[in-house]
Structure 1
Amino acid sequence: MPPPTAISHVLETCIYVKSMAAAQNFYTDLLGLKPDLATDRITVYPLGQTTLLLFQLGQTSNDVVSEEDPGQIIPKHGPTDDLMAAFQSSKGKLRQHFCLAVPSREDAEKWETYLRGEGVPITGRKKWPRGGYSVYFADPDGHVGEIASRGIWEHY
């Protein structure tokens, strides 16, 4: 049996953060992303057809059950209890990867200069065979961020 419909794109992707305040400062103030929702548990950044979700580490360990309809549940997600202690320690890092898109190589290079000037650790860069360019950086939680221009994939 084939799938019922075609999947069009990734709607949400998430990363887990140790300090929501530090993460909000980085993503909102430094990267200039505009939150649609910001709480101590979650921050939501709409980006084109995709949404970047920041979750406070340890705050998604239980199902969220609707009070109006207990049959509607958002299931728990994130690290299991046996991994949580390592991630919450000062040395534990998740190093989740995400990539933010810009139109041109020049734009990616401008971001590289900007991030370096703001003291953000630049952890790598890559010239892609299709002509794209990526700059990699570390966010406050050690996640591997990437800003990439068109030309890294066939579709972008």
Structure 2
Amino acid sequence: MDRKARSAPVSTRERHHTVLDLEHFLPYRLSVLSNRVSGAIARMYSERFGLSVTEWRVIAVLGRYPGLSASEVAQRTAMDKVAVSRAVARLLESGRLQRDTDGDDRRRSVLKLSRAGYRVFDQVAPMAIAFEKRLLDGISAEERALLFRLLDRLDELELQAEAEGP
């Protein structure tokens, strides 16, 4: 199906339902862009290291913030706890993660990258950074600063809306 056919509006006869203009619906646009960028980066590491997107995100977060629990990783990434738990299990099994007991709270287990995990992190992180640089090189420094301010503001607004409920 060509782009024109996919983007054609619903006919007048079919307009008895609410129209959701996805091309101008911010959550949809952000999701599509995120999936495209994540997919491009994933192609760099999936074949070479056999990692899923979720596994890479766990490695990336623990590379930056070692000593988090699986629940804290899920919270930082806004990923589903079950998906994170499965990724953690696979990474533990492959020797890329280590699980330790928290020194202050023996009931709490924390995760950190193993040497094998850091070897992956130290190879993939520069590729991800280079990809981001190529992406951001297409916009000016002012646009970049504005983009990050807007993303921060949208994040704040989303948290507010979530707290207020439906």
TM range (shorter): under 0.3
Q: If you compute each CA radius of gyration, which structure gives the higher value, 1 or 2? A: 2
Q: Which has the higher helix share?
A: 2
Give me the TM-score of the superposition, normalised by structure 1. 0.25
Q: Which has the higher strand share?
A: 1
